[in-house]
Amino acid sequence: MLAGSYFKYARKKKWVLLKIIMWAGGALLFFFAVSSTTGKLSKQSYLQTNRYACSAGKCTQAKFVKNVLENATFDSIELCRLLCQKYGTLWPLPTMIANMSQQVVEIDPNNIEVTYFTPDSATELFLKKTVNIFTKTLITECQGKPSTKPERLFKIGIRITSSGLDLDLKTEESYKIFVTTKNKGLVNVEINATTVYGARHGLETLLQLTGRHVISDLCSTLIVDTATIKDRPIFKYRGVLLDSSRNFLPVDTIKNVLSAMSSVKMNVLHWHITDSHSFPLYLTKLPLLSKYGAYSSQEIYTPEDVNNLVDYAKLRGIRIVMEIDAPAHAGNGWEFGEEVGLGKLVVCLNSEPWRDYCVQPPCGQLNPANPNLYFTLHNLYEELQSLIPAKDLFHMGGDEVHIPCWNASTEITDYMTAQGIPRTKEGFFTLWSDFQKKALEAWDEAVGHNKTTPILWSSQLTEIEYIEKYLDKNRYIIETWTGRYESLPEDLMAKGYSVIYATKDTWYLDHGFWGNTQYHTWKTVYDYIIPEDPKALGGEVLLWGELVDMDNVETKLWPRAAAIAERLWTSPQLTSNQVESRLWETRQRLRRRGHKIDQVIPEWCYLNDGKCPYI
């Protein structure tokens, strides 16, 4: 009975084993069949989902284009845009001529031969440093190991005619680029410019004529094989305001901003370095300003720091215009006067309730009744001149003077009485203009001449009915922070004043984070157009620092600041909807260079031009 049971179990086990073998064989045949089918589909699937097609100047995933041929597609959206659109991924657009081929050749970023044609050794040394920046950037952008070692030689010839290294409102920034591929073994580039700064801009444009071919961790650098570009900026002043008084910004953070600015050809960093909150600038002649005014001994800019930043900016075609705001927005730091026998240099310091004495806490305004103030300003300006020699520009601030502060100081009101100045609105304007006149004299003495053109914010003194009485149109530039529909900038230009636009309801990038202010998208920044008037020097985006520090300064600036870069370089007759894909590629380029950039669109929309009109 046990034996019978065993054989019955054995027969059952044999049948189960046979069934297992049959199932395994079927599964194996199914696997080969599916694998074969998958192999056939994978090429189509790859074509549909991992390649990009160009149609009517727009790039989309190939799966959205019917009957697309593989040889009409690209393996990256970046290369598609470089070759599909008339102007590739250039930002800002060139203003004169921009002809580019739709073919690319591979180059080796580590094998570049550069020839310099310069009037002297100083300009050649400068260009060598800018070429070094160019080469490092080219290598950085192609992240990963080189996929091949192209034998083609990449030759660049740079020719300039001016020996000047000054960077001011008269600096010539134009350039010409010619790219040719004469044979399989050579890519030849010629960059011609008047100044080193024009040549630097040309090198940045050359970077934007390149693209990447990336497979896994391998990367190749490609460049269009033919191009002719002639370019110059429309506006002379293309700036970013950084505020390091409300929150301290480390030197490396400011350098990151400068690097990003250079990538879109912006040329002025307006550094609002002091305010009533803090005075972080260490001056050897006035060391107590930072001793009392800095947040800590670690949050100070030394002369070496400033020199370092000036040199760093200059190599990238950027000048630093430092602002020492006065007579308002001056508080902490200035209290040292009484300690050293100079009397009260500042009044209303940290007064409460603050709304009675200033527009924003902490309060403080310089004391125009104290003659020692102007001696102190002279020493301050003199040292600034040694740090940032001002060939033409210096920002003297000059906005938001709060009359009740001065009116609450008996020292000031007694001075007004002695001078025969009535305590009326016009009387306080006279006091204010008297301060400005004496401050300008202190500045001129520090500089050694009166040929500069200081910048002042628009204020009550710059109102059309007052300005000619108080401010000389041949000495001052007015930076207008009015609304987009206000006529003050145009009215000032009609009277002969030069103007820098700082339009608050379009170009203030701190808006939308506090109070009832409204956030300005990159499209708002781009679509605001200023007149091409000889008296319109340009404009800037402004990132006031109340809610900004090293952790978010770049995301709040970029890519919105890039929008004003094209607006001020090119002044194109285009809307933001017509340029968005180039802006997206500019954002990606900044990310590859290591910058922290705000996101402006879902990735799917980035990969498919024109399919997200709601963004």
Q: Which amino acid is located at 460 in the chain?
A: Q
Q: Which of 75, 108, 124, 400 is catalytic?
A: 400
349: nearest Cα among 369, 360, 337, 335: 335
Write down the catalytic residue from 277, 329, 520, 595.
329
- Total Cβ atoms within 10 A of residue 66: 5
Cβ contact 510:556 at 8 Å: yes
Question: Is 468 known to be catalytic?
Answer: no
DSSP string covering 259-277, please?
HHHHHTT--EEEEE---SS
Q: Is 141 known to be catalytic?
A: no
Strand partners of residue 188: 155, 180
Per the CB < 8 A criterion, the answer to whether 94 and 208 are in contact is no
402 catalytic? Reply is no
Report the alpha-carbon distance of residue 396 to residue 169 in Å, rounded. Answer: 18
The residue among 201, 205, 290, 203 whose CA lies nearest residue 238 is 201
Q: CA 289, CA 333: separation in Å to the nearest integer? A: 4
d(CA 80, CA 88): 9
Rounded Cα distance between 606 and 11, Å, is 65
User: In 47-162, at which residue ranges do the beta strands (DSSP E only) sit?
Assistant: 52-55, 58-61, 73-74, 97-100, 104-107, 112-117, 145-146, 153-160
From 275, 325, 479, 609, the catalytic residue:
275
Can you tell me the distance from the alpha carbon of 348 to that of 273, in angstroms, rounded to the nearest whole number? Answer: 21
Beta-carbon contacts of 349 under 8 Å, excluding residues fewer than 6 positions away, are 331, 332, 334, 335, 362, 363, 364
User: Which residue in 71, 91, 95, 70 sits closest to 82, CA to CA?
Assistant: 91
Do residues 148 and 220 lie in contact, with contact meaning Cβ atoms separated by under 8 Å? yes
Closest to 449 (Cα-Cα) out of 496, 381, 532, 516: 381
CA-CA distances (angstroms) from residue 202 to 12, 169, 178, 258?
84, 19, 10, 17
* Measured CA distances, 83 to 55, 80, 407, 445, 500 (Å): 11, 5, 65, 56, 37
- Please report where in the chains the tokens 């000889």 appear, as a residue: 534
Alpha-carbon gap, residue 84 to 205, rounded angstroms: 18
Instruction: Write out the two tokens for 555.
Output: 């995301």
Instruction: Answer for the pair 7, 15: CB distance below 8 angstroms, yes or no.
Output: no
Which residue intervals of 537-609 are DSSP H helices? 553-557, 560-570, 576-592, 603-606
Say if residues 146 and 104 touch (Cβ distance below 8 Å): no
Residues assigned a catalytic role: 275, 329, 400
